[in-house]
Chain A
Amino acid sequence: MPLEAAFMAAKIGFVFFVVLNLAGLLGWVERKQSALMQDRIGANRAPILGITLIGLFHPLADAIKAFTKEDFIPARANKVMHTLAPLLALVPAFTAFAVIPFGDTITLGGRTASLVIADLDVGVLFVFAIMSLAAYGVVLAGWSSWNNFSLLGGLRASAQMLSYEIVMGLTLVGVFMTYGSLQLTEIARAQGEFFTFGGVNTWIPKWGILTQPLAFFLFMAAAIAESKRAPFDVAEAESELVAGYFTEYSGMKFLMFWMGEFVEIVVISGLVATLFFGGWQIPWLARDGFHVPFTQIVIALPAILITLAGVGAFWTKVLVLIWLQMTVRWTLPRFRYDQIMRMGWKMLLPLSLANIFVTGAVILLLQG
Chain B
Amino acid sequence: MEQAVFYVFAAIALGSSLAMVVQRNPVAAAMNLVLTMFSLAALFVLLQAHFLAVIQLLVYAGAVMVLFLFVIMFLNLTEDQMMPGRRSILHVAGVALAIYALFQLRALIQRTPPVSAKPVDAAFGTTKAIGRLLFSDYLLPFEITSVLILAAIVGAVVLAKRRLD
Contact = CB atoms under 8 A, between A and B. Distances in A.
Contacts of B6: none
B31 A81 contact: yes
A304 interface: no
A159 B73 CA distance: 13
Contacts of B25: 78
Given A139-B66, A139-B70, A158-B66, A81 B54 contact: no
A275 interface: no
Contacts of A182: 127
A139 B50 contact: no
Interface in A111-142: 120-122, 125-126, 128-130, 132-133, 135-136, 139-140, 142
Contacts of A133: 57, 61-62
B42 interface: no
Contact of A155 (B51, B58, B73, B127): B73
Interface string A129-163: 11011011001101100000001001100110010
Contacts of B66: 132, 135-136, 139, 158, 162
B127 A129 contact: no
B63 interface: yes
B27 A143 contact: yes
Given A139-B70, A182-B127, A129 B57 contact: yes
B21 interface: no
B62 A122 contact: no
A122 B54 contact: yes
A261 to B, nearest CB: 19
Contacts of B55: 125, 129
A142 B70 CA distance: 11
A3 interface: no
B126 interface: yes
Contact of A135 (B54, B57, B62, B126): B62
Interface residues on A, range: 20 to 34
A136 B60 CA distance: 13
B73 A151 contact: yes
Contact of B69 (A121, A132, A139): A139
Contact of B70 (A81, A120, A121, A158): A158
A80 interface: yes
B34 interface: yes
Contacts of A78: 25, 27-28
Among B25, B31, B54, B63, residue most surrounded by chain A Cβ atoms (within 10 Å): B54
Interface in A183-230: none
Interface in B50-97: 50-51, 54-55, 57-58, 61-63, 66, 69-70, 73-74
Interface string B37-51: 000000000000011
B22 to A, nearest CB: 15
Interface string A33-54: 0000000000000000000000
Nearest to A161: B66
Contacts of B61: 129, 132-133
Contacts of A162: 63, 66
B60 to A, nearest CB: 10
Ranked 6 nearest A-B pairs via Cβ: A132-B62, A129-B57, A129-B58, A125-B54, A122-B54, A129-B54
Given A81-B31, A122-B127, A125-B54, 19 more contacts: A81-B27, A81-B28, A121-B126, A122-B50, A122-B51, A122-B126, A129-B58, A132-B58, A132-B66, A133-B57, A136-B31, A136-B69, A140-B27, A140-B31, A140-B69, A143-B73, A151-B73, A155-B70, A155-B73
